[in-house]
């Protein structure tokens, strides 16, 4: 890929890098990080400007994630409704409510850190839209994550060359494993808290119902005595 980049003008390199990273961020599985590493190595050989490359990559990541967010917010509920009917245990109202609570609390970190993880880089934007994360909160995490990721990858690829690509590949899989474990723990904690909240809400409803029945019974007694008299 680096040899191919050496044969095309810098403007085309920026366009291709921004487009691929943007489409990957929308939710399409494309090799955005590999493309950025290759372009960074090409920049170290004088083929492109690393600063412009980093800006283009960050812009593609931020714009692509925002489009993915909009798509998830527009069509995600329809998809969840369909999945809820097919797999109610995993996508029914209760699991979705628990996921929304988890994402509302930890979603900003998932969007920021997900930029450095292969799978989450594709899913973070649409998932944030589906689960109703406020766009302002999403945009801050998305922008900071996109700038940090693009700057880090471009700089390391520019300095260390092809070796940086191998580092990022290994780091992505390790980060994915760690993210899965942390995600499971978060979901487990949120589920326990949600079940506890549901139990407390049910108890409050039962107590309120008993109080209403007691009040009605006490109000009915004088009426009975009056009728007897």
**41-56 pLDDT per residue, tens:** 888 888 889 999 999 9
- Average pLDDT over the chain reads 75
Q: 26 is written with which tokens?
A: 């929308």
> Model confidence over 59-99: pLDDT tens digits?
999 999 999 999 888 887 787 677 667 667 656 676 666 66
pTM value? Answer: 0.66
Structure-block tokens of residue 222: 């004088």
Q: And the tokens for 100?
A: 């929304």
- Mean pLDDT along residues 183-198: 55
* SS3 (DSSP) at 6: coil
Q: Which residues contact 104 (CB under 8 A, 6 or more apart)?
A: 131, 132, 133
Q: Is the pLDDT of residue 189 over 60?
A: no
Contacts of 201 (CB under 8 A, 6+ apart): none
């Amino acid at each position: 890929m680096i040899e191919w980049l050496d044969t095309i003008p810098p403007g085309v390199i920026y366009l291709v890098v921004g487009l691929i990273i943007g489409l990957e961020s929308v939710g399409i599985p494309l090799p955005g990080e590999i493309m950025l590493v290759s372009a960074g190595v090409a920049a170290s050989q004088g083929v492109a400007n690393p600063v412009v490359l980093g800006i283009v990559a960050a812009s593609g990541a931020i714009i692509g994630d925002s489009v993915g967010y909009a798509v998830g917010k527009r069509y995600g509920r329809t998809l969840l409704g369909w999945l809820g009917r097919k797999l109610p245990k995993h996508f029914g109202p209760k699991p979705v409510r628990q996921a929304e609570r988890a994402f509302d609390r930890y979603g900003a970190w998932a969007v920021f850190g997900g930029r450095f993880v292969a799978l989450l880089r594709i899913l973070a934007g649409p998932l944030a839209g589906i689960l109703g994360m406020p766009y302002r909160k999403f945009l801050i995490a998305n922008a900071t994550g996109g700038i940090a990721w693009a700057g880090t990858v471009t700089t390391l690829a520019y300095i260390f060359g092809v070796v940086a690509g191998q580092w990022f590949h290994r780091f992505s899989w390790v980060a994915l494993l760690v993210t899965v474990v942390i995600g499971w723990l978060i979901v487990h904690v949120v589920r326990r808290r949600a079940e506890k909240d549901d139990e407390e809400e049910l108890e409050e409803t039962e107590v309120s119902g008993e109080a209403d029945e007691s009040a009605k019974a006490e109000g009915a007694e004088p009426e009975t005595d009056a009728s007897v008299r």
